[in-house]
């Protein structure tokens, strides 16, 4: 059974790659065959975090048909059970990945044979990024305690929600829906999930039910990274509550990760922070967080790309 977990955050530098590599390290250590895929095309650096300094092949070899099977772009890492598909040689920005290539990549990922697949997604809310999130009902969102980072992660989650609704309609029906919402609730109401869902319920009751089931099956997890001693430890849970209030679906708080200057040292030394500094608060947080993620059970793949 495959568990696919996209990892993202609205803002660059929040710790997506650090979390992906650390979670991968813990899972591999538990004996789980784990694959990291660097989808932060254009700014890929996950290979450095897992000590594969010169990736000899990467995702673009598959995208550009140099390597026909995605499986054959997989690289071993120095850690047993931990594998990588690097994005190192991809000059392409994921936002500009053409539609056919995106669908081809999504389909290929969903057919890979690993117990855990972690996708390191770049920052931003382009349709392509949103579609990679929607490959699975599971997702991890990471933010720092800074308000700018929180705003961006909220915007990202809201965009995924809208993108999912959009996938249920063709362009014409979606346009009609938009007009109905604006007519009934006023200008600007199309940005409000509640208004859209009310309109969907009235005009497309079957789709509304399917969408509700869909949203109920999502397992979104929020991680608060780089928490310093003066920061509010309850902030993560508060953000989840706000998201639930405004978007109407549940995001579980998965845990805090303490800030530690030695993360920088581990990155510079190209060693896993968990191996180099196992007795730190940050390493403890990462292990606890990983346990919670392993213990959460949703593993179904959406059939859209199978
Ligand atoms: N808990 C932490 N404590 C201290 N430093 C951290 C922590 N988490 C991440 N960092 C540092 O923050 C920086 C950004 O981390 P990372 O590269 O994982 O972010 P990212 O979200 O993947 O960024 P990008 O969007 O640029 O890919 C790195 O320099 C890393 O060392
Ligand atoms: Mg990154």
Question: Does residue 286 lie in a domain region?
Answer: yes
Rounded distance from Cα 185 to ligand 1 centre (Å):
41
Within 8 A by CB and 6+ apart from 158, the residues are 193, 246, 247
Return the number of other C-beta atoms located less than 10 Å from residue 15's C-beta: 22
Question: Does residue 166 lie in a domain region?
Answer: no
* Per-residue pLDDT at 302: 46
Tell me which residue of 258, 216, 178, 209 sits closest to 15, measured CA to CA: 258
**From the CA of 264, which ligand is nearest?**
1
Rounded distance from Cα 140 to ligand 2 centre (Å):
14
Within 8 A by CB and 6+ apart from 134, the residues are 160, 163, 164, 167, 302, 304
Work out which ligand 1 atom sits closest to the CA atom of 45: 27
Q: Which domain holds residue 96?
A: 3-143+218-305
Question: Does residue 208 lie in a domain region?
Answer: no
Question: Does residue 12 lie in a domain region?
Answer: yes
* Per-residue pLDDT at 43: 83
Instruction: Please name the helix (run of DSSP H) or strand (run of DSSP E) that holds residue 127, with its range, or none.
Output: helix 127-133
How far is the CA of 151 from the CAs of 5, 138, 214, in angstroms?
22, 21, 24
Rounded distance from Cα 97 to ligand 1 centre (Å):
25
Q: Is 213 exposed, middle or buried (0-12, 13-18, 19+ CB in 10 A)?
A: exposed
Question: Does residue 82 lie in a domain region?
Answer: yes
**From the CA of 261, which ligand is nearest?**
1
C-alpha to C-alpha distance for 170 and 50, rounded to whole angstroms: 42
Work out which ligand 1 atom sits closest to the CA atom of 123: 25
Rounded distance from Cα 229 to ligand 1 centre (Å):
18
Question: Does residue 95 lie in a domain region?
Answer: yes
Work out which ligand 1 atom sits closest to the CA atom of 21: 18
- Residue bearing the CA closest to ligand 1, atom 10: 15
| CATH at 137 | 3.40.50.300
- Residue bearing the CA closest to ligand 1, atom 6: 263
* Per-residue pLDDT at 192: 84
Rounded distance from Cα 163 to ligand 1 centre (Å):
27
pLDDT of 79-111, one tens digit each? Answer: 999 999 998 776 777 778 888 999 999 999 999
Q: Is 266 exposed, middle or buried (0-12, 13-18, 19+ CB in 10 A)?
A: buried
> Which of helix, strand or coil describes residue 11?
coil
Given a cut of 70, the residues of the chain with pLDDT beneath it are: 90, 297-306
Q: What is the CB < 6 Å shell around ligand 1?
A: 9, 12-18, 40, 43, 122-123, 225-226, 257, 259-260, 263-264, 267, 282
Question: Does residue 156 lie in a domain region?
Answer: no
C-alpha to C-alpha distance for 81 and 32, rounded to whole angstroms: 6
Rounded distance from Cα 172 to ligand 2 centre (Å):
37
What is the count of structural domains for the chain? 1
Q: What is the pTM of this model?
A: 0.94
Q: Are 28 and 34 in contact (CB under 8 A)?
A: yes
Work out which ligand 1 atom sits closest to the CA atom of 282: 1
Question: Does residue 190 lie in a domain region?
Answer: no
* Per-residue pLDDT at 303: 42
pLDDT of 224-243, one tens digit each? Answer: 999 999 999 999 999 999 99
DSSP 71: G
């Amino acid at each position: 059974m495959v568990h696919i977990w996209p990892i993202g955050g609205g803002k660059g530098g929040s710790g997506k790659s650090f979390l992906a590599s650390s979670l991968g390290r813990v899972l591999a250590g538990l004996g789980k065959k784990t694959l990291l895929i660097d989808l932060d095309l254009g700014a890929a650096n996950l290979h450095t975090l897992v000590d594969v300094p010169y990736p000899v092949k990467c995702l673009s070899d598959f995208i550009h048909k140099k390597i026909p099977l995605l499986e054959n772009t997989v690289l071993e890492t120095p850690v047993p059970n931990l594998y990588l598909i690097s994005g190192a040689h991809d000059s392409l920005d994921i936002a500009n990945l053409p539609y056919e290539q995106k669908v081809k990549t999504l389909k290929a990922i969903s057919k890979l044979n690993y117990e855990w697949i972690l996708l390191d997604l770049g920052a931003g809310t382009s349709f392509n990024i949103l579609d990679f999130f929607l490959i699975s009902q599971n997702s991890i969102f990471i933010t720092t305690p800074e308000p700018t980072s929180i705003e961006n992660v909220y915007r990202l989650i809201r965009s995924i929600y809208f993108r999912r609704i959009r996938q249920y309609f063709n362009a014409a029906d979606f346009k009609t829906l938009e007009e109905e919402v604006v007519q009934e609730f006023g200008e600007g109401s199309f940005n409000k999930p509640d208004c859209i869902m009310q309109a969907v319920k009235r005009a497309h009751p079957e789709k509304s039910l399917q969408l509700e089931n869909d949203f109920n099956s999502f397992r979104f997890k929020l991680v608060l990274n780089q928490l310093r001693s003066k920061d509010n430890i309850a902030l993560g849970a508060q953000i989840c509550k706000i998201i639930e209030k405004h978007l109407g679906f549940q995001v579980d708080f998965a845990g805090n990760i303490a800030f530690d200057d030695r993360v920088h040292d581990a990155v510079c030394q190209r060693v896993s922070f968990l191996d180099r500094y196992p007795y730190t608060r940050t390493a403890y947080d990462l292990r606890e967080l990983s346990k919670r993620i392993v213990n959460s059970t949703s593993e179904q793949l959406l059939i859209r790309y199978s």
